Structure 1
């Protein structure tokens, strides 16, 4: 067990008699980039408001956080990394397989979740040594086992799952009413009873539809512990999802703390560049290319850390981008199919679009790109981190969901916020499964990009709505904003609970 990072003096002090205790949060993220990144952002936000933070990680994931650690140390924020050994080999995983993006088969997903559960004892041992113990545990909803630890030590436990409130509410209703078990056909349309606005989705496009042997029991434990928790922390903000936040609180009878958009703790280029993995290209080169383009002229295409697109689908996407005649930045992740994709790119595509297309292989500095004035649209897989980053940047979107809750996020963006257009995905590309068919044709790509980026009245209205939500997102975390106030109240309430029990 290793503790690293800065643990300086924090504010968030709570008076209790003659003693003063700093409110101390223990954060336990799911070991996947899409879950770790908002948790590191949450750590920074809490620390900036004076709380002390311990962030649980593992050696491989800690190595990926070098930029985050450097930024924390430079700002002298009271955040420490608690590095626990990850028992990959003991659970049938390749040595060093400590992140979801390293799990190559859905058959190993259960192994990975169980390996995460094995962090329970070393974490509990560390917690028992802390005097006083942390004020509050905020753990990913997947880490159901943290509920037992929190109860043993008398610490409040709040859950975090990285969804928006809209998708979280739909997921709650789905589990509460066993909706998926009642539907026999993958194409059967699911309705969500009690959802505050009409919502229908085919079973295959619902979160939790991934079929993994043995996962049902784990899902039951996750739901049970979620219901026993003391509340939920959401990477969202009041002005974006008021109706769904209020509905969620009524249904579960617990406080929903909206403290986002968490990505906005990165207000400058240096901290933006420090998020996630190291970019696979020079940020300066990327920004220089964008500087040469007209404002609002470029479409940015990126599908997140877990999506690995099949070569035939990449070809269709590329041909659609070429046909659009629009400048574009395209982040390509082809996984073990990269040689096939590189062959196609070398056969003439890359040369054909060299004047108006930039291709990035692997990780990209997404926040830096989205906030550049040249970006006029974002083609996204609708993972919530990417979606809310697009919302914060005030950029309209082309939605291309693949799996998990991404189809629900598409509904939010297209139908409710009205800041995006669907590319028209008909099927589901399951995580870590072979994609059999082309899901989206080049003509569908061309149509969606043209609709989003044209000069028509509908497109202009979409751009104005996107900019308006971007302004609201930024205000939420400014002093006096809804999320700013929620963060301060969260720190105060957890500190009071700690002092009341001491």
Structure 2
């Protein structure tokens, strides 16, 4: 493995957004940087560190130079319930601004810790949703890179949309608008765009994020050049800075079983899950999961379940513990689990997703189109049925279905917002009917072999990119060398 000369002392501080789907790839980033000669401080909080306990313990056992800095999260000061330290813990839309405020309050604590306990960082990499890190980097006179846990295609489209205010004068959320400056024709509605239907009170945060995205020294992306070459080149030109594609970072750990839980305890014994999968026919099972942030109403869960039942296909269905758990348990036990017992496996809570996707019985993935899930599906060589919910997920759907051609749409036309509270939640909301599920799933499973072959080819390309001498591996080495000089300062004026 190629590494950086230790005398150059590369030292990176990573500041993720406190949310499961954002922290996981940045933990993988920390591992990659450390394996290639860098020292890393990973900023987290007590509750988030506890949720990642397994993966932290494994990293500590490996003796990689990664320190997990646990900053106290100011829940009380920001008006959040005690222990509410992650975005997937927010119970309502009114808590979003409070959460953003609490994250920004970490700045003084982090500066204090970096001054007292650590050497001067050579580079700080922060989630784009932590724009306060820009002020910190300027105070410390160190370079700053942004990280957006999405791919290059949605990153580029989002950059153009935000920086050119494409939807600022669009009143109708369903009006189709052309995105100018994209390397090919791209159209979408405001509702499906990353700006979506903005919540009141977010204006100042969004403006600050826009400014810091513009002033960053570069962008780190969890993707690989061979997956999105046109968009990497275009994004580099459009943003006027280096785009570092260093993924899929989940492949930094080749052990499938360790990757499967990604630091969390699965809600089902992995051996039991494997035994169930082992008796299914190859490529016959559809895996259904919507990630950690998407919230599904009871009515919609019922439609999914009845649609899967009517499809006649074997399935593994992950239902988050937070999805109205008491009501869902009652509905499932009201005859449904008994009826599908011979061909359906229901997992309540966290699932060993990568292990499941990597099993030869899995033939398709019904997904919310979160980037982590997309990469896991690509790395497993599994095509997708797309059910986007919000943010960049509708752009990801376009990439999967229209560009890469490794998926089909379930037919979602309007976003389903996350962190919904009682004031904006309706248990009767249904986005996709059971008949849609019952129709699309078997058609996809029966006729998806061409897509499966394309997905398998992308899986091979992903591994090549991460192997020594591959595009992502080379980019990682260049990134570390670029920011290894302790005397290097940001090239961007505050």
Please give the TM-score of this superposition, normalised by the length of structure 1: 0.93
Question: How far, CA to CA, are the matches of 1:451 and 1:402 in structure 2?
Answer: 22
Q: Whole-Å Cα distance in 2 between the matches of residues 246 and 311 of structure 1?
A: 44
Structure 1 position 210, deviation (Å): 3.9
Is 1:462 the equivalent of 2:451? yes
Deviation at 1:389, TM superposition (A): 0.8
Of structures 1 and 2, the one with the larger relative CO (CA 8 A, separation 6+) is: 2
Q: Hey, what does 1:6 align to over in structure 2? A: none
Q: 1:254-298: per-residue Cα shift (whole Å, max 9, x none)?
A: 000000001111211342145143211111111111112122111
2:374 to 367, 387, 396: 387
Q: Which of residues 379, 401, 411 in structure 1 aligns to 2:388?
A: 401
Cα distance, 1:160 vs structure 2: 0.3
For 2:261 and 2:279, locate their aligned partners in 1 and report how far apart those are by CA, in whole Å.
24
Report the equivalent of 2:335: 348
Partner of 1:480: 469
- The offset of 1:39, in angstroms, is 0.5
Q: Distance in 2 between matches of 1:379 and 1:27?
A: 32
Are 2:122 and 2:488, in contact at CA under 8 Å, matched by a contact in 1?
Answer: no
Per-residue deviation, residues 58-86 of structure 1 (Å, max 9, x unmatched): 00001011111122123221111011000
Say if 2:297 and 2:323, in contact at 8 Å, map to a contact too.
no
Does 1:46 pair with 2:38?
Answer: no
Partner of 2:176: 189
- Map 1:138-177; keep pairs closer than 5 Å: 138-177=125-164
Q: Work out whether 1:320 is the aligned partner of 2:307.
A: yes
User: Taking structure 1 as reference, are residues 500 and 320 closer, same or farther at Cα in structure 2, changes over 3 Å only?
Assistant: closer
Task: Tell whether 2:187 aligns with 1:200.
Answer: yes
Matched, 1:57 2:57: no
Q: Say whether the 8 Å CA contact 1:107–1:212 is kept in structure 2.
A: no
Distance (whole Å) between structure 2 residues aligned to residue 321 and residue 22 of structure 1: 54
- Closer, same or farther in 2 for the Cα pair 1:231/1:292, shift >3 Å? same
Q: Measure how far apart 1:167 and its partner are.
A: 0.7
**Residue 289 of structure 2 is aligned to residue 302 of structure 1:** yes
Give the Cα–Cα distance (whole angstroms) in 1 for the partners of residues 402 and 257 of structure 2. 35
1:489 alignment counterpart: 478
Q: Is 2:277 the counterpart of 1:285?
A: no
Q: Measure the CA separation in 2 of the matches of 1:335 and 1:479.
A: 41
1:105 Cα deviation from its structure 2 partner? 0.7
| Contact 2:47–2:83, Cα closer than 8 Å, also in 1 | yes
1:426 CA drift (Å): 2.3
Question: What residue is the counterpart of 2:243 in the other structure?
Answer: 256
Summarize deviations over 1:207-231 as a string: whole Å, max 9, x none. Answer: 1224222211110101101111100
Distance 1:381 1:340 in 2: 22
C-alpha distance in 1 between matches for 2:419 and 2:214: 29
How far does residue 476 in structure 1 lie from its aligned partner after superposition? 0.7
> Offset at 1:129?
3.2
Match of 1:17 in 2: none
In structure 1, the residue corresponding to 2:67 is in which secondary structure?
Answer: strand
Match of residue 397 from structure 2: 410
Q: 1:336 to 1:448 in 2, by over 3 A?
A: closer
Asked if structure 1 preserves the Cα contact closer than 8 Å seen for 2:277 and 2:361, the reply is: yes
Summarize the alignment of residues 357-376 of structure 1 with structure 2, pairs less than 5 Å apart. 357-376=344-363
Gaps of 5+ in 2: none
1:417 Cα offset (Å): 0.3
Shift of 1:316: 1.1
Give the secondary structure class of the aligned counterpart of 1:197.
coil
Structure 1 range deviating more: 86-95 or 326-335: 326-335
Name the CA distance, whole Å, in 2 between partners of 1:13 and 1:274.
33
SS, match of residue 12 in structure 2: strand
RMSD: 1.6
Alignment correspondent of 1:128: 115
The answer on whether the counterparts of 1:236 and 1:260 sit within 8 Å (CA) in structure 2 is yes
Unaligned runs of 5+ in 1: 1-9, 15-19
2-structure distance, mates of 1:363, 1:297 = 23
Q: Give every structure 1 segment of 4 or more consecutive aligned residues whose post-TM-superposition deviation is greater than 6 Å.
A: none
Q: Offset of 1:501 from its aligned partner?
A: 6.1
Q: Could you tell me which of 36, 43, 57 is aligned with 1:70?
A: 57
Which among 237, 240, 243 is matched to residue 227 of structure 2?
240
* CA distance in 2 between partners of 1:248 and 1:119 (Å): 31
Contact 1:399 1:421 in 2 (8 A): yes
- Are 1:453 and 2:445 an aligned pair? yes
Q: CA deviation at 1:334?
A: 6.0
> Secondary structure, in 3 states, of the residue corresponding to 2:473?
helix
Q: Contact 1:333–1:361 (CA<8 Å) still a contact in 2?
A: yes
CA contact (8 A) 2:296 2:323 kept: no
Check the 8 A contact 2:88/2:292 in 1, yes or no. Answer: yes
